[in-house]
Amino acid sequence: MRVKFPAAPGAALRCVLFACALHAAVPTPASHFGHQIGVDRELLDWDKVVSYFQALEKSSDKIRVEELGKTIEGRPFIAATIAAPEMLRDLDRYREIQRRLADPRITTEAEAENLIARGKTVVLLTCSIHSTEVASTHTAVEFAYRLLTEDKPRFRAILQNTILLLVPSLNPDGVDIVTRWYRRTLGTPFEGTSPPELYQRYVGHDNNRDWYMFTQPETRLTVAKLHNAWHPQIVYDVHQQGQYASRIFVPPWLDPIEPNVDAILAQEMNMIGTSMAAELTAAGKKGVAIHAAYDFWSPARHYQAFHGGLRILTESASARLATPVTIRREQLDRNALGYDAQQKSWNHLEPWDGGEWHLHDIIDYQLIAFESCLYQAAIHREELLRNFCRVGRRAIARTEPAAFLIPAMQRDPGAARKLFETLEFGGVEIGRAADGSHVISMAQPYSSFAKALLERQNYPDMRQYPGGPPVQPYDVTAHTLPLLMGVDVEALEKPWAGAVERDHFPGGAHPESFSALDTDAWRTINRVWKSGGAVWRDPASGDFAASQKSPAWKQLRRPRIGLYKSFIPSIDEGWTRWLLEQFEFEYSSAGNQDVQSGDLRQRFDVLVFPDQPVQEIVNGYSKGAMPPEFIGGLGEAGAASLRDFASRGGTLVFLNRASAYAMQALGVKAKNVLDGVSNRDFYAPGSLLNITLESGPLTLGLPREIAIWSEHSPAWEAGEGAVARYPDAQVLASGWLLGEKLLAGRAALVDARLGAGHVILFGMRPQYRGQSYQAFKLFFNALVE
């Protein structure tokens, strides 16, 4: 509804004219974009979204717009702050109130009550991190316009009691990638398909799995400039799900809830979620599901619940981008986790009747959800702020453990330093003891973040029915950074007795290292190569040097690396690119045609195949699924070319599921014992597993026992060429594992021969989401073997 001004004469007219004068300048979305928000077959360009928010700022005193920085592709990354004008003029004061409420060590309970009386609920509302989930950027535009121009009691309550930090997209690059693809395919059989490229340059959909490792600039800007600067009580992150699911999901979440998330926050998520669901239903919206599909385990998906605030997620049913779909009720998903989209149940009270589903339907639901969430934030302001303090007090009272100790002597100093940087970026205070050890006391506001990342996860054994198949976790089950990174960390039962000084770990350049034990040595090596120097390696210790230290040392050749890139975007391919660039390796991408054209040995020493289902590598998109130029995979010509490459001494590296290609297409002899095993008998849904390494060129610089990332990972009958094996018992290091007996003694890493060359099979993701520093070294060794 737009504000309408009655044409009344006399004194009333002056008033109306005054109101008009204020509001007339606020441009409508239609006047700016050239169409109503949410019309069929129209998507937005990012520069127009930015200029719209800038136009709002020029015409209203209730909004400020800030460019927080640039995206990975250089687009402006913006956030709007919306509140009553007098509050906007005083933002520093509100930020200071938040800072003091967030840290009970600097604020007494009496002071806190005083601050609560003056404070506001801070709500961070983030849109379209997943760029094919297109609606919420539209909703952000429409909602901002309405909030600034419609004078109604609920909006007044919102403006006076909350500070809204509105991020119209957490991934602006993806807005343009999807819009560009949509326009290109509009009116063709491919209208509404997802683009054949990652919608964030490196990590695609995994951009919402980066909330504790902070690898990408968009994550870092959001955490540093919004979460850490404002300590929001509520973070509402807006997503979309499949077209046959419920029309919208709102919390409560499903089990399990990560044990370090404070129960107060979990209860508040239940409270606000169910209130939003009630308001959607009261507004006549059907197909509202709560307590369904989405659990609350991995901190990779959210930050604030480990920092005193709560997370609201909504997941709306999708159309085909901006193209409407028609769905019959009997097509709706009957087997969604926790509900049946065709049936009425306590957590899905009014099933949707089916029919047409448009972009504007998604926006209509989201507009109600945005307003409802903010209205809850406004009317519960006082309790939300008081509980925010309580959560902080409960965090600093934590005693089990009392602290974590990170001994000064570490195998991999670069990985330890990276761990410290990461925790500190996440607001964790780190102390340094006189002997150089580091101590992380749990008596600090964000101890839940530190504890979650430093301890081992014990994921509950959840079955669909007793003795039945596992309940699938929404994401993964482990996030133990010391195991991933290879850093020794001990939990202390009693507080550290000695003195500690606060230590700081700014990101950026690390000391040059040439130690094989230090992951950072690989960056040094690449710099030496780039500057034209030589690198030598001791085949016994694995150590590097810029000169030959003894006759046994061998010169390390600089590998010419090719990275396979399918038309079907692979997130793992993106992470591999990211990893190579972080450690300054030179590489080139190799598509199907590059591989098929032959003469690979002239161009490459090593070819890497990132994790991808083997059918996608062999066949790619099937005919009719995409425009002709994106059809096809490696096919027989590609396989012949790869066999020829290996026979001439090239190295082929296959990561995780891609390994099956070596057996199927290249005739490598290795049997995956997990092939065809049901998930009732074997299940490792993103878990850390123990392995034992054999000494040899692939394992130089690593300890004998490490933990690896297992997710859809093969395990082979161990024979000749087995470089790493699972132990006979106690395979699980962190997370969840069913069927450990199947792994006993099996190989997790195989170096097989093919002709004069090598085929290296990784039964793991050695570059898992930029976190597995320990396994990075296995991967880097494979590149230079």
Strands in 71-117 per DSSP E: 76-82
CB of 80 to Zn ion, least distance (A): 21
CB of 48 to Zn ion, least distance (A): 23
Rounding to the nearest 10 degrees, give the CA dihedral for residues 371, 221, 206, 326: 30
CB of 245 to Zn ion, least distance (A): 12
- The helix/strand count (H/E) of the chain reads as 25, 30
CB of 137 to Zn ion, least distance (A): 13
Site string for Zn ion, 692-731 (x = CB under 5 A): ----------------------------------------
CA 369-372-377 angle, to 5 degrees, is 125
**Alpha-carbon distances of 701 from 287, 472, 497, 584, rounded to whole Å:** 55, 36, 34, 19
Q: Which part of the chain contacts Zn ion (CB under 5 A), choosing from 122-130, 230-238, 325-333, 423-431?
A: 122-130
Pairing of strands 536-537, 544-545: antiparallel
Closer by beta carbon to Zn ion, 362 or else 760 = 362
Sheet (strand 234-241) strand order: 63-70, 76-82, 162-167, 121-126, 234-241, 310-317, 248-250, 288-290
Q: Which part of the chain contacts Zn ion (CB under 5 A), choosing from 239-247, 258-266, 677-685, 748-756?
A: 239-247
Closer by beta carbon to Zn ion, 133 or else 518 = 133
CB of 226 to Zn ion, least distance (A): 19
Closer by beta carbon to Zn ion, 71 or else 207 = 207
**Residues 387-416 within binding reach of Zn ion (CB under 5 A):** none
When binding is defined by CB under 5 A, the residue of 100, 239, 381, 438 that contacts Zn ion is 239
**Residues 131-150 within binding reach of Zn ion (CB under 5 A):** 133
CB of 261 to Zn ion, least distance (A): 20
| Bond into 189 cis (ω within 30) | no
Strands in 60-174 per DSSP E: 63-70, 76-82, 121-126, 162-167
209 scored as a contact of Zn ion (CB under 5 A): no
Calpha distance 758→752 (Å, rounded): 6
Closer by beta carbon to Zn ion, 239 or else 438 = 239
Site string for Zn ion, 241-260 (x = CB under 5 A): --------------------
Phi/psi of residue 303, each to 5°?
-115, -40
**Cβ 451 vs Cβ 457: under 8 Å:** no
**Which residue bears the tokens 């019959």?**
328
CB of 389 to Zn ion, least distance (A): 32
Calpha distance 190→585 (Å, rounded): 37
Q: Which part of the chain contacts Zn ion (CB under 5 A), choosing from 129-137, 191-199, 352-360, 451-459?
A: 129-137
Closest CA to 241 of 182, 176, 288: 288
CB of 126 to Zn ion, least distance (A): 11
Encoded tokens for 715:
């395990």
CB of 239 to Zn ion, least distance (A): 3
Q: Which part of the chain contacts Zn ion (CB under 5 A), choosing from 189-197, 231-239, 425-433, 731-739?
A: 231-239
Classified as helix, coil or strand, 110 is helix
Closer by beta carbon to Zn ion, 130 or else 643 = 130
Closer by beta carbon to Zn ion, 201 or else 205 = 205
CB of 715 to Zn ion, least distance (A): 31
Q: Which part of the chain contacts Zn ion (CB under 5 A), choosing from 128-136, 421-429, 603-611, 637-645?
A: 128-136
Site string for Zn ion, 580-609 (x = CB under 5 A): ------------------------------
CB of 338 to Zn ion, least distance (A): 18
Give the largest CA-CA distance in the chain.
101
Pairing of strands 747-754, 722-725: antiparallel
**Residues 55-84 within binding reach of Zn ion (CB under 5 A):** none
Closer by beta carbon to Zn ion, 239 or else 746 = 239
CB of 599 to Zn ion, least distance (A): 42
Closest CA to 233 of 139, 135, 143, 309: 309
When binding is defined by CB under 5 A, the residue of 120, 130, 451, 758 that contacts Zn ion is 130
Rounding to the nearest 10 degrees, give the CA dihedral for residues 510, 414, 424, 391: 170
Those residues whose C-beta lies under 8 Å from the C-beta of residue 508, and which sit 6 or more positions away, are none
Closer by beta carbon to Zn ion, 133 or else 605 = 133
Closest CA to 78 of 167, 164, 151, 156: 167
How many alpha carbons lie under 13 Å from residue 430 in its C-beta half-sphere? 25
**Cβ 729 vs Cβ 740: under 8 Å:** yes
Closer by beta carbon to Zn ion, 231 or else 239 = 239
Closer by beta carbon to Zn ion, 542 or else 574 = 574
**Residues 308-367 within binding reach of Zn ion (CB under 5 A):** none
Encoded tokens for 397:
């009272």
CB of 300 to Zn ion, least distance (A): 13
CA 77-268-379 angle, to 5 degrees, is 80
Closer by beta carbon to Zn ion, 133 or else 475 = 133
Closer by beta carbon to Zn ion, 127 or else 516 = 127
CB of 238 to Zn ion, least distance (A): 9
Closer by beta carbon to Zn ion, 202 or else 779 = 202
Strand partners, 589: 563
CB of 224 to Zn ion, least distance (A): 23
**Alpha-carbon distances of 628 from 184, 567, 749, rounded to whole Å:** 14, 11, 37
Q: Which part of the chain contacts Zn ion (CB under 5 A), choosing from 235-243, 487-495, 514-522, 742-750?
A: 235-243
Q: Which part of the chain contacts Zn ion (CB under 5 A), choosing from 36-44, 87-95, 236-244, 757-765?
A: 236-244
Closer by beta carbon to Zn ion, 558 or else 769 = 769
Q: Which part of the chain contacts Zn ion (CB under 5 A), choosing from 127-135, 276-284, 487-495, 541-549?
A: 127-135
Closer by beta carbon to Zn ion, 126 or else 781 = 126
**Cβ 27 vs Cβ 52: under 8 Å:** yes
Q: Which residues are at the interface with Zn ion (CB under 5 A)?
A: 130, 133, 239
